[in-house]
């Protein structure tokens, strides 16, 4: 793996795809661990179009050792840096007949342990006792997201579409995208591959049209401590 090349691509374009990070056996074990859990908790969301588990690293502790294999650890250390830790984790399952699509957006919030008045932090949202807030820009700019693909994903089953280089333009409202200037990229990822992206990269996805499922584990990493009494709610070294 030429990781320096991937590091440059993330800096320049806001994303990169690295395939062959997990073997078929590893993917099978991760899938099994996820299938065997109690889905009645409030961190789960289930509909015909989407099954999601928030805080998957906490909810399925067994999955942690499977996810952080040697390949992934090397990528985190060499591309992000040794001080990075996980701050958010979600599992998404777009079923075979899913009509779920996501309009272009940036990931602008972080998960924290409480709601307090802090300068430059806001707006706030609270879902099922989980607090999310938009932090200052420098915190968002520092985050890396890894998306682990448990299925092969292309434009026919909801692969991410992204606007290259949009991560370096601060807060970028999707309705202001000028398609004469910007280009859309579809990020095809093989089963067992990963996509790394910056949360400020404009991204979205289309509906599934080929009857194939798309399961993704989304993990965000930061190396920044939050101010004063605020803590990352899912912090995990």
User: Tell me: the pLDDT tens digits for 41-51?
Assistant: 777 777 777 78
Q: 36 falls in which pLDDT band (50, 70, 90)?
A: confident
CATH number of domain containing 27: 2.60.120.620
Q: 128 falls in which pLDDT band (50, 70, 90)?
A: confident
Q: 11 falls in which pLDDT band (50, 70, 90)?
A: very high
The pLDDT assigned to 188 comes to 97
Kindly report the length of the chain.
237
Region 76-89 average pLDDT: 97
On the 0-12 / 13-18 / 19+ scale of CB atoms within 10 A, 174 is middle
Give the chain's domain count: 1
**Distances 137 to 108, 140, 151, 157 between C-alpha atoms, Å:** 9, 5, 33, 32
In-domain check, residue 228:
no
11-15, 100-104, 112-116, 182-186, range with the lowest pLDDT? 100-104
In-domain check, residue 236:
no
The pLDDT assigned to 219 comes to 98
In-domain check, residue 15:
yes
In-domain check, residue 197:
yes
The pLDDT assigned to 156 comes to 92
Q: Tell me the pTM.
A: 0.95
* Rg of the chain over all Cα atoms, to the nearest angstrom: 17
In-domain check, residue 58:
yes
Please write the tens of the pLDDT for every residue from 210-221. Answer: 989 899 999 999
17-21, 74-78, 134-138, 153-157, range with the lowest pLDDT? 153-157
Q: How far apart (Å, rounded) are the C-alpha atoms in residues 140 and 158?
A: 25
Q: Are 217 and 150 in contact (CB under 8 A)?
A: yes
Q: Are 170 and 191 in contact (CB under 8 A)?
A: no
Contacts of residue 79, Cβ cutoff 8 Å, sequence gap at least 6: 3, 6, 7, 10, 144, 196
Q: Which domain holds residue 11?
A: 3-222
**Cα 61–Cα 153–Cα 141 angle in degrees, nearest 5:** 65
Please write the tens of the pLDDT for every residue from 197-211. Answer: 999 999 999 988 998
Strand, coil or helix: 29: helix
Whether residue 4 has pLDDT greater than 90: yes
Q: Considering only CA atoms, which of 191, 113, 96 is closest in space to residue 147?
A: 191
In-domain check, residue 42:
yes
């Amino acid at each position: 793996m030429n990781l320096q090349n991937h590091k440059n691509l993330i800096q320049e374009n806001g994303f990169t795809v690295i395939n062959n990070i997990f073997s078929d056996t590893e993917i099978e074990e991760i899938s099994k661990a996820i299938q065997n859990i109690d889905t009645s908790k409030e961190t789960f969301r289930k509909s015909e179009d989407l099954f999601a588990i928030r805080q998957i690293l906490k909810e399925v502790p067994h999955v942690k050792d499977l996810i952080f294999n040697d390949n992934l650890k090397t990528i985190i250390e060499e591309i992000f840096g040794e001080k990075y830790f996980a701050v958010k984790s979600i599992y998404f399952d777009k079923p075979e007949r899913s009509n779920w699509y996501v309009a272009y957006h940036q990931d602008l919030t972080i998960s924290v342990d409480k709601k307090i008045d802090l300068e430059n932090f806001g707006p706030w949202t609270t879902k099922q006792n989980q607090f999310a807030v938009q932090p200052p820009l420098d915190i968002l700019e520092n985050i890396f997201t890894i998306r682990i693909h448990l299925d092969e994903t292309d434009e026919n089953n909801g692969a991410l579409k992204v606007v290259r280089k949009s991560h370096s333009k601060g807060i970028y409202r999707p309705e202001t995208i000028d398609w004469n200037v910007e280009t859309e990229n579809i990020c095809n990822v093989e089963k067992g591959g990963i996509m790394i992206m910056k949360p400020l990269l404009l991204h979205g996805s289309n509906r599934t049209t080929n009857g194939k499922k798309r399961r993704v584990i989304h993990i965000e990493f930061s190396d920044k401590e939050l101010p004063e009494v605020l803590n990352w709610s899912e912090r995990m070294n």
